[in-house]
Structures are given as C-alpha cells and as structure tokens.
Amino acid sequence: MAPIEQTIENASPTLLEMEEDRRQSMSQQKSVPTEPETDPVAIKSGTEGEQENKSPRNVWIALFLSTIETTVVSTSLVSITNALNGFLIKDWVVTAYLLTYTGFLTIFAKFSDIFGRKTMLILALIIFSFSSLLCGISNAIDYIPCIPGIGASGIYSMVMVIATDMVTPEKYGKYMGIVSTVFIVASVMGPVLGGVINTHSSWRWVFLFNVPGGLVALVLIVWCLPTSETSSRLTLRKRLRTKLSKSEFARVDICGMFLLLASSVLLVFALEEGGSRYPWDSAAIIAPVVLAIIAAIVLVSWEAFLQKRGSVQEPVFPPSILKDRLLTAMLLTAFFVGFPFVAIVVNVPQRAQAVSSLSPLRAGLALLPLLLASPFATALSGFLTSNLKIPPFYLVLGASILQLIRVGLSCSYPTDQTKVPPSQYGFEVIMGIGFGMGLTTILTFARAVAGEKHMAVVMGAITQVRVLGGTISPAICSTILNNHVKPRILSIVSPKQAQTIYDSLSAIQDLTPSQQAAVKRAFAEGYNLQNIFMTALTALGLIAACFLWERHPRKAV
C-alpha cells in the first residue's frame, strides 16, 4: 500500500470519530424526533394559564355527556324495552353497558401511552357519539348498551389520565373537585332529563341528544386540547402517519388486551347476573367465574413473559406494578373505596322507598348530604396535600376510617320504625368525606409513586378496580337482600302480591297495615344485613390502606 494511502487509512478513524461527535452535538441541540414514544398532553405545549383555563373545560363536557348517559338510560329502561318488546331482558341493558365500561378503562389508558392522550380521547368521543346515533335509530336491544359503554369508558379513563399531564400538582385537588361536581350534576340531571324525554318525546332522544353534544365536545377537543410540543411541530398528515405507523402498532399488546378484557367482562357478568337472572350454582355463573380466573392467571404470566423478554410489545398491565407494595396497596384500597360507596348510593333511595314509603324524588334527595360532601372533601384533600404538605398516607388512612365508621354505625338502624333516621344524614356526610378524600388522595399518591413510565396505566388501573368494586357491590348486596326478603314476604302475602312488590315498591302501600309493617320490617332487616357485609369489606379496605405506610411518609409534591 502506498504511503499516502496508509496515512489516509490511519487518519480516517479519527476523522470519522470527529464527524460523529459533531453530528451528535448538532442532534442534541437542534433535532426534533418525528416518532415520539408517547404523546402526552404536555404543559410545555402552551402557557399554563391557557391550558388550565381552556382545556379542562373541554374535557369536562365530554365527561358530563358520558356520565349523564348512564342515568338517563337507567331512567328510560322501561320505555326502551317496552317499545322494542324486550322487557324480559331489561336488566341486560345495564349489565351490557357495565361490561364494556369496566373492561376498557385500563386498555384506553395504556393505548394513550402509544397513540397519545388526545388521540384516544378523540377516538372515545367518536365511538360514544356514533354509537349513540346507532342506538337512537336501532330497532333491536341486543347491542344497544355495549358500544356506548366503550366510548364512555375511554372518556372517563382519559379524563383521569390527562389530569396528571395537564394540571399542576398544586391544582390537582381543585381539578378533581370539579370532576366530582360534574359527576354529581350529571347524576342529578340524568333522571330528570330521562323523565322529560319519556314524557314529552320518544325514548330515542335518550341516545340522540348525545350526538350534537358529542360533536361539540369533539370539535373543542380537536382544536383546543394541546398536544405534545413535538407533535405540534408536525403537519396533520405527518402526525397521522406517525400515529398509524407499523412501529406504533407493533407496540400494542393484543393478547394482553383480550385477556384483561376477558377477565374483567366475565367476572362482572357472573356477579351481575348471579342470583337474579341465573342461580349462583348454575353453569351460566360458575363457568364465567372459572374462565375469568384462568384469564387473569394467563394474563399475569403473559405480561411477565413480555417484560422479561424485552419485547417491542408493551404489556397492557406491566407485572412490575404489582411488585411495588405501595401501588398494590393503592389498587386494593381503591377497590374497597368504590365498593361501599356505590352500594350506598343505590341502597339509600331504595330503603327510603321500601321502608319509609318516600316518593322516588324524595328518596333521591335523601342522597344529597353524601353527594354534596364528596366534592367538598375532594377539593379539601387537594388543599391538604398540596398547600399544607400533609402526606397522602394519613389522608387515605383517615378516609378509610371514616368509611368504616359510617357503614358500621348504619348496621344498627332501627327495624321497627318507618321514618328515615335523622342520624342517616350525618352518616352520609361522613361517607361522602371518606369517599371524596380517599379516592382523590389515592390518585394523588399514585402520581407521586408511579413515575412517568407507568403513570397512565396506574391511573387507568386504579380507576378500573374502583369501578369494578362499585359494579360488584350492588350485585352482591342485592343478592343478600333478596335472600332475606323473598321468603319472609312469601310468608306474609300471596305469591302474586309478592311479585307485584318485586316489580314496584309502591305496591307495599296497597297492603293492609299489619302486612305493610311486616314487609317493611323484612326490608329494613335486609338492608341492615347489607351494611354488616359492607362493614367487613370496608374493614379490609382499612387494612389495605395500612400497607401504604412508609417509615418516612412521602408528600405528594
């Protein structure tokens, strides 16, 4: 080799290294990645004031629509099923909605890590609005509630996840307080709106009114909700190409998604239908429970395999979350927080009608102390953790104690009087404070523990187990009540009269005074049995909250 060629060859590695260093330096200073790993709603994409004044309001509209739909449909069940000759399967309408609503919460949260928060919220709104249109023009009841449940699940999940990206820790409690208020207003307006629609119009408007509202929310989200700083620099075409690229879809854990969905849906189905539509010992109930357990075991094994292998697929629920004692305790606590709250929201009006003979309107108003205390406690927890720097552990523990006190005291309601005990309203305030403070503080605590990598999944999982607890509790409590009340009512009145009472609690007023007293006593005893059961579950929640203890309790911010 010629001397000059040897000189170039010997020098080339040094020159190449210098050129590589120069390129890396320029890349660090100027490069903009075109395919970001995630696309969260970033605070950096706009000024803090602009986002906190505009974006949350747009999210609240979407949340309001998804929440009010549940109560409107429940009020209109009889009208819908009668019109479509499906009265015998009216309970399936609620169950089908809950199946998809519960099953997709974590899935939407995980997909937002891959395809972006804004993208998944837009998709949820499209599903919700389009499926509402389909339900409004449908002549079949079989699939009516399933698809809107998917959209509503995505909206709820994304609202909770986006809150962690959009709102600063100092204002997180305030944000969650407003979210709770949106739920309350929607829950109160839903039955009223459903009654107005059924009285003055067709049941189809129960679904159709979501279409214009959903489109308005969709436009506001598209134009006003900020995206990440990286995505905002790209054109719409490049943004879509990035989101829908093969590399992004390769990250989707399809197997894990179906296993998670199967375990949730099968369990909810069995607990909702057991004791009402099918006997608990029937194959229709036992088989789904067994399959749900198998799906859960396979899910954990599959997710552990993906994580250990280092696959490009991202586990829909990383098993490493369950290895963290604090996160596992949060999931258990959230489950037990949702369990008594939803059962009480359902049972208090029922007891007021069955035992105290109140009208449906007055029975619903009996819940006001609980519903008003919840958002107040939510905002208070944010103030205590953010402004006074109180560690979340103490608030979660205190909230669990308050819930246990409320449920425990309600076990001793008198069964020989028909008036609503005045102490009930005070107990409801205690329950509202316990629920509002407990759930919000758990989410705040999770925000401090989970880290950015698993933030969305943890938020989605906490929401899902809380909703799961709230879905299971009315089903189990209903079984407890029915098992106690039915044989006693049959010993008091004829089977025909008993069936009339099961169909409408107002039929109790048609009985003789002595029969009324005996039937009301049976119902009062049944509701007290429910409270005894919920006391045991709430005690487990307190035990789970104790596992959030740390030698040096961390602060939220």
Could you read off the pLDDT of 360-406 as tens digits, one per residue? 777 777 888 887 888 788 878 878 887 788 888 999 999 999 999 98
Angle, helices 90-103 vs 146-166, to 10°: value is 30
Which helix (H) or strand (E) segment is 378 a member of? helix 368-386
Q: Which residues pair with 278 in a beta bridge?
A: 274
CA atoms of 557 and 386, how far apart (whole Å) = 6
CA atoms of 493 and 193, how far apart (whole Å) = 36
Contact of 299 with 121, CB cutoff 8 Å: no
What Cα–Cα distance (Å) separates residue 327 from each residue in 175, 198, 306, 391, 459?
Answer: 22, 45, 20, 16, 10
Helices (H) and strands (E) in the chain, counts: 24, 0
CA atoms of 455 and 440, how far apart (whole Å) = 15
Mind listing the pLDDT tens digit for each residue in 96-132? 777 788 888 888 988 888 888 888 999 999 998 888 8
Angle, helices 455-490 vs 423-450, to 10°: value is 150
Angle at 98 between CA 263 and CA 195, to 5 degrees: 175
CA atoms of 387 and 395, how far apart (whole Å) = 14
**CA-closest candidate to residue 257, choices 106, 450, 156, 454:** 106
pLDDT at 286 (0 to 100) = 93
| pLDDT(32) > 70 | no
pLDDT at 279 (0 to 100) = 84
Q: Determine the 3-state secondary structure of 234 from DSSP.
A: coil
Angle, helices 392-409 vs 513-546, to 10°: value is 160
Q: Determine the 3-state secondary structure of 274 from DSSP.
A: strand
| pLDDT(10) > 50 | no
Backbone angles phi, psi at 274, to 5 degrees: -65, 130
Mind listing the pLDDT tens digit for each residue in 267-301? 888 887 777 778 888 998 999 999 999 999 999 89
Q: Where are the beta strands (DSSP E) in 373-436?
A: none
Q: Determine the 3-state secondary structure of 229 from DSSP.
A: helix
CA dihedral 378, 382, 383, 387 (to 10 degrees): 170
pLDDT at 71 (0 to 100) = 61
H helices within 274-319, ranges in order?
Answer: 283-309
Q: What pTM, to 2 d.p., does this model score?
A: 0.75
CA atoms of 538 and 388, how far apart (whole Å) = 28
Contact of 188 with 65, CB cutoff 8 Å: no
Reported as a pLDDT band with limits 50, 70 and 90, residue 51 is very low
CA atoms of 367 and 371, how far apart (whole Å) = 6
Residue 441: both structure tokens together: 């503080």
What Cα–Cα distance (Å) separates residue 369 from each residue in 203, 345, 360, 388?
Answer: 31, 11, 17, 26
Cβ neighbours around 311 below 10 Å, total: 13
Radius of gyration of the chain (CA): 27
